[in-house]
Structure 1
């Protein structure tokens, strides 16, 4: 059965949310309907006019980042007043809430939507409590609706349904009173069905009904390839269907119900051109996006008026032609709450449809030089108090930032550290006897920042920061793989489904090879360059190879790893990471960023 969210009486406590910020309170009160039902703001359309302006605010891939993200994950690339390219600090739910509440001022017809991955791969403040804090925060900031993303399945279907319906965690219980209430907003999963019943596991669509008969329908889907990027246990018993076919199916259903204004929330995305700022002109010649969302957008029924997307963590506000050749808006607001999208539309009350030529969208930075939302500050403080005994414990020391995201090179310094930690933790005969370790880049969720945002000293790595880097707590696997199978895995990082957007594995010390990116597909791997401890890898020889259970199950398109034999299951990746930091660093001798010289790239 689908899970319909509980609608509570207080959807947006605007004034209470910003108590103590006098200027904000005044503006919010001015934009709030009066007790008599008359609107205080005088600039809205007359209630009997043919058209009304509808505002759609959106974001995506929040991933439980309640506190401002650290390092490159917490910046946005933009031009300053002088025209220089700069990195601007951005994100944090205290600022996201303020930004959205300010953006809603003066808009009678406003909806806030998201395109999935609100939870999963979250920092410790949310992840330690199975993301209940994030759902609570989304309720408070007035999220109306979201699609599911692949990370909503990290803990499986039952846990996703608990996020929607509420209730205590089946193993860890309740974290206080009252018990977890679940999401006020509907999670939409139109293309995710129960294998046995064939029915969607959550509602496929939802209709926002506003004054004067204004109706906007939302259809939510995640990427069809979710099973390729989630552990097998997380999607057990589920089927994931084609995004285009599913959206078109439910668009027709909504139209038959008289809902002609439709927005698709799609957890699949695109890629902007390299070296662009967040607000680049997507529709300028040569500036269009690439990636899976382009073909999806070109084939979705013209009845769908706009597409809010995600998954790739990229910023864009573009137009892509629909099947009738008419331009249609496609947006994404990067990730981690650093941006939000403001999409303005004109709704025709006679046709009950969006005037497509009126649609305009822009991304805006969630800046940290604005007032914090007081209710979010209180929420963070309350959960931090519960997390403090675990989160604040020191596990190591670093001498400088060790980048795990946002690097210009596909070999990440933090990726080398993690791979080395996994090799060291599985090298002993009784731990697996590994000689090589591979780490998937998507599993590295943050940098290790030397100057942290908390109260600890510079260079100290806390358990909370380590958890933010490795939040999945995947168990380590050690397999037998032949040299030929290892080379096949290296080729799979740059071919097949990974050719357009390579997923470069991070490798442990002693393992080296060359990628020739002037070539295409599997030929990019220079096979005679693949070496272990300076010796060419023998295609016929068997090697013990360590990796997390996600990679071991063939995740991210690495089918070669599924051929591994004689599996041994070891400790969690997080335990190996924290143990390595403790063993290899101290206050007097902090860990330095590695050289990241194991993979040679020919461009």
Structure 2
């Protein structure tokens, strides 16, 4: 799910180009002391004891991905998962929230002397206001308390650049805003971020540790962490300035060989790239008879190319739930897992470690989407994995409840300010349609704010769908009233605070941009731009590539787009830089930089809604889709 990267907010702009390479070298030393073999009571090296250990040991691997700073339970559709019932029907079940994730992980660890907790990237970035307002310090604090052992970086770890990533790892107060609590210095992550395939252009070396080794009682398991090679295409230029991103397979194979030479034979790859399962249900059995190809997408080719030295793949990025097996290059099945997003699920995988060989037994790996499937015992066994619901019916973890309350107190003066009113849910992230109600609303806000001649003279606005991070939910949360949109809620919808651009584009370039939604790098997984009122066209999905856009239907205010004419077009700076595969949008000239996307959105809510006359969901009648 590519998304607009998070730009530094108005008060955060110091983390720009000048800061880029100055501290990249410092990232190499970012591994916290004791990260190798850290235990939290369920790891660490405590010796063999006075008895002869069994030949095999069951090692529990708990994993999750794409938390995105969702400390409080996510609202709307972002806070549910789909579960298939015994009769074959499906049900949406509320899930998530770090209070419940902590409880779930702590409960799962009970009875497992060998337990590791790992993550697949995007722990921070695109975060709700509670975390994003404080540059995700609250999320790192929560992950420390949860006893996360290791994570890969994801694309969103680069939203604020390499310098800020170094601070999240090493600690220290924000260079502009300082310390948020009197007498408290941000300690940084006490788990390692791994970035094996991200190197400094200056030194050629990884900016963070490429791998780490977990150890306990002679058991050694290596973890290699990578983000998707295409990270620069979905992060602003400042966020990746001075960095190079390398092929995932080549990088993992390189470091797997290095670990093997060191005697580490059991290896897990943490990969911030994912796939698309055949079913949206978290308990879908990907490997059930008749399932066929249970998963598709980028991770399938990546998995097939990764050396058999790697025993399991923990993945992310696509925000999907799956537990599948994909053959390695030797033809042996290997587990590939993902736990959706926002802390709604966690994956529990049993890895049977052979003390004699130092390797994981996976002669016939079994992936199970069935809730609760596990294996225990001391004899050689097949690794088994399952996704588990982070239920809100369980008792919340008190330390997390206290953490949320503490940061909410600091955020409340800003978070609780009313911005506008809605009459019903206005879905964005939760909409599966190409044209999303919230997408229309955001694009209209951008057009209205930038249409005046002195603001840019825009005649049309485009919004990238991945930049819409949530729904606007009607039902009250906390102390607000039904239908009230607070600053915290609008921030959660658009947390990046991207600056808006207005540029000149020819009609031919506009047409090319619309075609790039469904062709080139976007052909397999279309990225449909959300468009402001006045622009209409037909999308024929029965065709392929650029032909899916029916060019003679493209009209602006009822008039056909003239390829030779120049149009003033509003978009956020991510799109204006050609992000998400929209090279045509990156060709704009005569650029004017306007207000931030969030400021325009809030201004629109204030201008068009009152308690007695709330905004209704838009009609979504701008893009006609032929299936």
- Please give the TM-score of this superposition, normalised by the length of structure 2: 0.90
Structure 2 residue corresponding to 1:4, chosen from 26, 31, 40: 31
Q: Which residue matches 2:389?
A: 365
Name the CA distance, whole Å, in 1 between partners of 2:110 and 2:358: 24
Query: How many pairs does the alignment contain?
Result: 577
- Aligned match of 2:283: 279
Distance 2:280 2:223 in 1: 30
What pairs with 1:159-558 in structure 2 (closer than 5 Å)?
Answer: 159-176=164-181, 177-211=183-217, 213-273=218-278, 275-284=279-288, 285-356=291-362, 357=364, 358-558=382-582
- Superposed CA offset, 1:504-559 (max 9, x none): 00000000111110111111100001100011111110000000000000110100
Structure 1 residues 273-295: Cα deviation after superposition (integer angstroms, max 9, x where no partner): 2x531111112333511111000
* 1:112 equivalent in structure 2: 117
Secondary structure in 2 matching 1:135: helix
Return the alpha-carbon distance in structure 2 between the equivalents of residues 537 and 354 of structure 1: 60
Q: Aligned Cα RMSD in Å?
A: 1.8
CA positional deviation for 1:406: 2.6
1:11/1:139 contact within 8 Å kept? no
CA–CA distance in structure 2, aligned partners of residues 405 and 128 of structure 1: 21
- Is 1:131 the counterpart of 2:136 in the alignment? yes
Counterpart check, 1:587 vs 2:611: yes
The answer as to whether partners of 1:188 and 1:219 remain within 8 angstroms in 2 is yes
Q: Is the 8 A contact 1:281 1:287 kept in 2?
A: no
Deviation at 1:409, TM superposition (A): 1.0
In the aligned structure 2, how far is the partner of 1:310 from the partner of 1:224? 13
CA gap of 1:47–1:430, structure 2 versus 1, over 3 A, is farther
Q: Distance in 2 between matches of 1:12 and 1:334?
A: 26
What does residue 77 of structure 2 align with?
72
The runs of 5 or more residues in structure 2 that have no matched partner are 1-24, 365-381
Distance 1:584 1:529 in 2: 30
1:489 is paired with a residue whose SS is: helix
| Alignment match, 1:86 | 91
Judged with a 3 Å threshold, the aligned counterparts in structure 2 of structure 1 residues 47 and 418 are, in CA distance, closer, same or farther, namely farther
- Alpha-carbon distance between aligned partners in 2 of 1:335 and 1:543, rounded to the nearest angstrom: 39
Distance 1:9 1:244, change over 3 A: closer
Q: Give me the whole-angstrom Cα distance separating, in 2, the residues matched to 1:134 and 1:494.
A: 35
- On the 8 A contact 2:37/2:213 being kept in 1, the answer is no
1:13, 1:140 within 8 Å by CA — same for their partners in 2? no
Structure 1's 452 and 548: CA in aligned 2 closer, same or farther, altered over 3 A? same
* TM-score, length-scaled by structure 1: 0.93
Contact 1:492 / 1:558 at 8 angstroms: preserved in 2? yes
What SS is found at the alignment partner of 1:304?
A: coil
- CA distance in 1 between counterparts of 2:585 and 2:143 reads 38
Per-residue displacement from partner, 1:180-220 (whole Å, max 9, x unpaired)?
00001000000000001001000000000012x00000000
The corresponding residue for 2:103 is 98
Contact 1:56 1:342 in 2 (8 A): yes
Alignment match, 2:14 = none
Distance 2:84 2:477 in 1: 24
The match for 1:22 is none
CA spacing shift, 1:88–1:519, aligned 2, 3 Å? same
SS at match of 1:54: strand
Distance 1:233 1:8, change over 3 A: closer
Q: 1:244-280: per-residue Cα shift (whole Å, max 9, x none)?
A: 000000000000000000000000000112x531111
Q: Is the 8 A contact 1:70 1:452 kept in 2?
A: no
Q: C-alpha separation between the residues in 1 aligned to 2:128 and 2:476?
A: 14
- Counterpart-to-counterpart distance in 1, 2:179 and 2:135: 11
Kept in 1, the 8 Å contact 2:517–2:529? The answer is yes
Give the whole-Å Cα distance in 1 for the aligned partners of 2:498 and 2:34.
35
What secondary structure, in the 3-state scheme, does the structure 2 residue paired with 1:126 have? helix
Task: Supply the distance in 2 between the matched residues of 1:583 and 1:96 (Cα, whole angstroms).
Answer: 39
